């Protein structure tokens, strides 16, 4: 006779334990499950996307009724156990069903905490816990109606977001002034709040609920300070309480939760407990990741293998609101003996903070860019010493790997790195499933491993693993919107500009339903670039959408003065030019004159109103703007080459000058730098430039996609050519391909890593006709670009208002 195992609580922790048990000891027990909810077992955390209309109930079922039948598990769905008789070893339900057990597993989860205020029992006041709650909310949700969500934690915000998707007006009430304070620091919480407010969510922070108003149903909420807010629905999301009633009644030791030891046993050795209802080493968890670990250990002991101990979990959190990337883990607020490493890039809406003690990560908060969440979490749990890469740790894991294709980052993570926090799936498990079961699609991987099958925030990582493992990409990850002003990605916008012949910002805003009247500092410069690069001579260059440096053709300095860098073709200069520069420096009392890293001279500290006169003087000596300020061609560095150098194989200086004369003035997605070295000793550092030429005896080697900067990347060899004329053609074609296809602010290095060197070769080297067409388009657009912006402005004709005050008053 098989022993009898009874599970009370048909939820996530209990059923995971049963699944783990069936995997290791399928025939050991005769299993019976009692569930108060009239359903199979479903993924509770996905109730938020269900509420938001992004998933259906059917899609979030983990084990439907068929599964129980197939696995010989007897399920009493919709039956609540009301009594445990430990001496008789029986459980009894409300309708009198009695079941005997040899072992009992408690997994009763928790209940939403309902504030003890008057009116809390009125119809329309609910928690957010199960399918029934979601159905109640969906029934009440009607456009224009008002919902008040009490509690600004994860659950409350997801509830409010979901209700808003149905057109309800939502006010989130929070006692403190930091949203999700158990997961976020004030800065990240501020960013979160701002983007939720932008979507229309309202907040009442520091508000204490006094009463729920209404006679036969809810109609409003009153606060301690007397303020009243109307409400057709009130969602209580102020916290959860472990559901321990049944255990208490049966005399099983409980404190805040049912007390268990490291083998998930309660004080009664026949009775085990897992999930949110338990208290382990003083802690009650409210997230799923710990439950997976508990389930594994518990199953192991139920199978009487007797190995494995549960020792507590460090948890991490993500918010399941589509379009908001947020991650937090560990001790993210730090303490006196911790240091913080912070990266903040408001233009991209990115904030990352690591809390570090003795070079070990203690906690992390990330907003806007969470790709590296899994990596930081792994470093945290493993207590890795980060001193070797501390300076760059915030730039992410991709930064650590040798320059390589996207995806190499996740592939260089160790096999036991956790990829899917929701389901506790490690990288090794995913790779193994893909290779052994020959999986090809994301859905296959989800079905076989459960990775990315829950909240979905690890989908990108799983796709990368899939792509790298099978060598093909199942489905490319959804592209991000350009910025908060639009839902569209860079690529979509660009295609629309080309295919729908859009030639002005206004046309883009109107055609593509921009959400703001005139964009922002992030999208406008990008759009302006796409317009003028796609329709040269036709689209109007919008100065007001250019960053100040490009608008006034000089680099702004920290004190508000400017720096001026005239072009020195290929790094060559003359005594006359040097004299003119010296004269300008004297005449306008320019404090600093410096040789730049780009082989030319920088005049630093020029007052803005002097700029036109400085330029006029430099123009008079034959010099033009060096575009040191632009997303444009910067410098062409050269070495002395065959004219003087004893190793020089070709005229590198001359070729550099020719390339610069051909390409100067062109606008590019990001800055574009070139260099020509006269021999492989490479004194001009051509192999870390966007386009580099290395002269050899038999001709010219072309190198592309390099840069110095924060993350250095050496170039890839594109091809070898015989003549200077060919070099010019390939150079122009390469620049044009980059101009037409890269995203704004994407330098050639990340662009090539994204599209692949072979793609670039196929366009530039293998397709002669295509290359010639690209080159022709490049030269055509140069007609409109090669106008010295300094000369235009020095004459006083263009943008004079930039350089003169409007008035002076005292």
Ligand X SMILES: Cc1cc2nc3c(=O)[nH]c(=O)nc-3n(C[C@H](O)[C@H](O)[C@H](O)COP(=O)(O)OP(=O)(O)OC[C@H]3O[C@@H](n4cnc5c(N)ncnc54)[C@H](O)[C@@H]3O)c2cc1C
Nearer to other proteins, 345 or 385 (CB): 345
3-state DSSP of 102-116: CEEEECCCEEECCCC
531-590 binders of ligand SRM (CB under 6 A): 555, 557, 563, 565
Q: Judge whether 699 and 721 are in contact, CB under 8 Å.
A: yes
**Token representation of residue 8:** 């009370």
Alpha-carbon distance 349 to 352, whole Å? Answer: 10
Q: Which is nearer to other proteins, 347 or 773 (CB)?
A: 347
Considering the complex, what minimum distance in angstroms separates the CB of residue 330 from other proteins? 21
Cα-Cα-Cα-Cα dihedral sign, residues 772, 775, 781, 786:
negative
Contact call for residue 628 and ligand SRM (CB under 6 A): yes
Q: Does 715 bind ligand SRM (CB under 6 A)?
A: no
Task: Kindly state the smallest distance separating residue 233's Cβ from ligand X, in Å.
Answer: 16
Question: What is the 8-class DSSP label of residue 136?
Answer: H
Judge whether 639 is annotated as a binding position: yes
Dihedrals phi, psi of 410, to nearest 5 degrees? -70, -30
Instruction: State yes or no: residue 708 binds ligand SRM (CB under 6 A).
Output: yes
Interface characters, 450-489, with ligand X (x: CB under 6 A)? -----x----------------------------------
Angle between helices 459-470 and 427-436 (to 10 degrees): 40
Tell me the two tokens of residue 143: 């456009």
Q: Are 233 and 51 in contact (CB under 8 A)?
A: no
CB of 320 or CB of 658, closer to ligand X: 320
Determine the size of the site formed for other proteins (CB under 8 A).
Answer: 37
Strand partners for 328 = 317, 365
If one asks whether residue 17 binds ligand X (CB under 6 A), the answer comes out as: no
Q: Which of residues 526-545 bind other proteins (CB under 8 A)?
A: 543-545
Residue with the two structure tokens 């890269």: 742
Q: Starting at the edge strand that comes first in sequence, how are the strands of the sheet with 691-696 ordered? A: 633-638, 672-677, 691-696, 699-704, 716-721
Cα 415 to Cα 234: distance, rounded to the nearest angstrom = 45
DSSP 539-603: SPP-GGGS-HHHHHTSEE-TTS-EEE-B--GGG---HHHHHHHHHHHHHTT--EEEE-TTSSEEE
Q: How far apart, in whole angstroms, are the C-alpha atoms of residue 208 and residue 238?
A: 12
Instruction: Answer yes or no whether residue 9 interacts with ligand X by CB under 6 A.
Output: yes
User: x/- contact string, 358-377, with other proteins (CB under 8 A)?
Assistant: --------------------
- Token output for 431: 């790779």
Tokens of 720: 């070898």
Q: Which does 190 bind (CB under 5 to 8 A by kind): ligand SRM, ligand X, other proteins, none?
A: other proteins
Q: 459-470 vs 442-449: helix axis angle to the nearest 10? A: 110
- Tokens of residue 205, six digits: 């922070």
Query: Can residue 212 be called a binding residue for ligand SRM (CB under 6 A)?
Result: no
Q: And the tokens for 34?
A: 């009692």
Please state the closest distance from residue 104 (CB atom) to ligand X, in A: 12
679 annotated among ligand-binding-site residues: yes
Interface with ligand SRM, residue 239, by CB under 6 A:
no
Residues 548, 640, 717, 779: which binds other proteins (CB under 8 A)? 548
Biggest alpha carbon–alpha carbon distance for the chain: 106
Q: Is 591 in the site for ligand SRM (CB under 6 A)?
A: no
Total interface residues for ligand SRM by CB under 6 A: 23
805 binds, among ligand X, ligand SRM, other proteins, none (CB under 5 to 8 A by kind): other proteins
Q: Is 458 annotated as a binding residue?
A: no
> Which residues are annotated binding-site positions?
639, 645, 679, 683
Contact positions vs ligand SRM (CB under 6 A): 555, 557, 563, 565, 594, 596-598, 600, 602, 626, 628, 634-635, 637, 671, 673, 688, 707-710, 747
> Which residues are annotated binding-site positions for [4Fe-4S] cluster?
639, 645, 679, 683
Contact positions vs other proteins (CB under 8 A): 186-187, 190-191, 193-194, 345-347, 351, 516-521, 524-525, 543-545, 547-549, 551-552, 556, 558-560, 801, 805-810
Contact positions vs ligand X (CB under 6 A): 8-14, 34-37, 44-45, 47-48, 80-81, 107-109, 128-129, 155, 243, 246, 275-277, 286-289, 291, 320, 455
């Amino acid at each position: 006779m098989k022993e009898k195992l009874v599970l009370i609580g048909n939820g996530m922790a209990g059923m995971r334990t049963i699944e783990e048990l069936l995997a290791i000891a399928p025939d050991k027990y005769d299993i019976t499950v009692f569930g108060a909810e009239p359903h199979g077992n479903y993924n509770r955390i996905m109730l938020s996307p269900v509420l938001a209309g992004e998933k259906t109930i059917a899609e979030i079922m983990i084990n439907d009724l068929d599964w129980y039948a197939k696995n010989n598990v007897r399920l009493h769905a919709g039956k609540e156990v009301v009594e445990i008789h430990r001496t008789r070893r029986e459980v009894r339900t409300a309708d009198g069903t009695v079941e005997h057990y040899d072992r009992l597993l408690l997994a009763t989860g928790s209940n939403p905490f309902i504030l003890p205020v008057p009116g809390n029992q009125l119809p329309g006041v609910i928690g957010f816990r199960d399918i029934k709650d979601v159905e109640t909310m969906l029934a009440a949700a009607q456009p224009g109606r008002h919902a008040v969500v009490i509690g600004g934690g994860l659950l409350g915000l997801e509830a409010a977001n979901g209700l808003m998707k149905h057109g309800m007006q939502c006010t989130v009430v929070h006692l403190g002034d930091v949203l999700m304070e158990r997961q976020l620091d004030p800065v990240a919480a501020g960013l979160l709040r701002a983007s939720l407010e932008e979507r229309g969510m309202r907040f009442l922070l520091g508000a204490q609920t006094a009463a729920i108003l209404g006679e036969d149903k809810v109609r409003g909420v009153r606060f301690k300070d007397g303020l009243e807010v109307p409400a057709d629905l009130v969602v209580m999301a102020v916290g959860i309480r472990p559901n321990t009633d049944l255990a208490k009644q049966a005399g099983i030791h409980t404190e805040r939760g049912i007390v268990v030891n490291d083998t998930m046993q309660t004080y009664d050795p026949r009775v085990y407990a897992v999930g949110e209802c338990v208290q382990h080493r003083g802690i009650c968890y409210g997230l799923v990741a710990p439950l997976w670990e508990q389930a594994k250990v518990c199953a192991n002991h139920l199978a009487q293998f007797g190995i494995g101990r549960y020792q507590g979990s460090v948890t991490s959190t993500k918010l399941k609101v589509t379009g908001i990337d947020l991650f937090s883990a560990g001790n993210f607020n730090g303490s006196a003996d911790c240091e913080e490493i912070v990266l903040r890039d408001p233009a991209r809406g990115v904030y990352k903070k690591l809390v570090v003690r003795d070079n070990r990560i203690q906690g992390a908060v990330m907003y806007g860019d969470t790709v590296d969440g899994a990596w930081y979490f792994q470093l945290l749990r493993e207590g890795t010493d980060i001193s070797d890469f501390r300076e760059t740790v915030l730039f992410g894991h991709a930064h650590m790997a040798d320059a390589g294709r996207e995806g190499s980052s996740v592939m260089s993570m160790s096999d036991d790195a956790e990829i899917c926090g929701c389901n506790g799936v490690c990288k090794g498990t995913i790779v193994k499933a893909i290779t052994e079961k020959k999986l090809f699609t994301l859905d296959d991987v989800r079905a076989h491993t459960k990775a990315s099958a829950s909240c979905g925030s690890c989908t990108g990582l799983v796709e990368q693993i899939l792509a790298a493992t099978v060598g093909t990409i199942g489905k490319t990850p959804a592209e991000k919107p350009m910025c908060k002003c639009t839902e569209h990605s860079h690529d979509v916008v660009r295609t629309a500009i080309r295919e729908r012949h859009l030639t002005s910002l206004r046309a883009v805003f109107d055609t593509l339903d921009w959400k703001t009247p005139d964009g922002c500092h992030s999208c406008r410069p990008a759009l302006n670039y796409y317009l003028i690069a796609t329709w040269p001579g036709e689209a109007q260059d919008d100065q007001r959408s250019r960053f100040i440096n490009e608008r006034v053709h000089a680099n702004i300095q920290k004190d508000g003065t400017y720096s001026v860098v005239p072009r020195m073709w290929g790094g060559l200069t003359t005594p006359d030019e040097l004299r003119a520069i010296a004269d300008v420096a004297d005449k306008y009392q320019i404090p600093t004159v410096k040789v730049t890293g780009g082989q030319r001279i920088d005049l630093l500290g020029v007052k803005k109103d002097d700029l036109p006169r400085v330029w006029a003087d430099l123009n008079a000596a034959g010099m033009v703007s060096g575009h040191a300020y632009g997303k444009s061609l910067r410098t062409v560095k050269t070495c002395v080459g065959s004219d003087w150098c004893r190793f020089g194989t070709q005229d590198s200086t001359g070729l550099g000058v020719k390339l610069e004369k051909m390409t100067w003035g062109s606008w590019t997605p990001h800055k574009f730098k070139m260099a020509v070295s006269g021999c492989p000793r490479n004194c001009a550092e051509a192999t870390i430039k966007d386009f580099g030429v290395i002269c050899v005896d038999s001709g010219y080697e072309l190198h592309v996609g390099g840069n110095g900067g924060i993350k250095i990347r050496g170039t890839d060899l594109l091809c070898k050519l015989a003549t200077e004329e060919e070099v010019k053609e390939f150079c122009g074609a390469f620049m044009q391909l980059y101009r037409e296809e890269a995203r704004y602010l994407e330098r050639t290095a990340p662009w090539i890593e994204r599209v692949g060197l072979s793609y670039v070769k196929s366009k530039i080297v293998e397709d002669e006709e295509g290359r010639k067409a690209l080159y022709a388009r490049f030269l055509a657009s140069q007609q409109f670009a090669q106008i010295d912006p300094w000369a235009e402005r020095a004459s006083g004709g263009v943008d004079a208002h930039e350089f003169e005050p409007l008035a002076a008053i005292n």
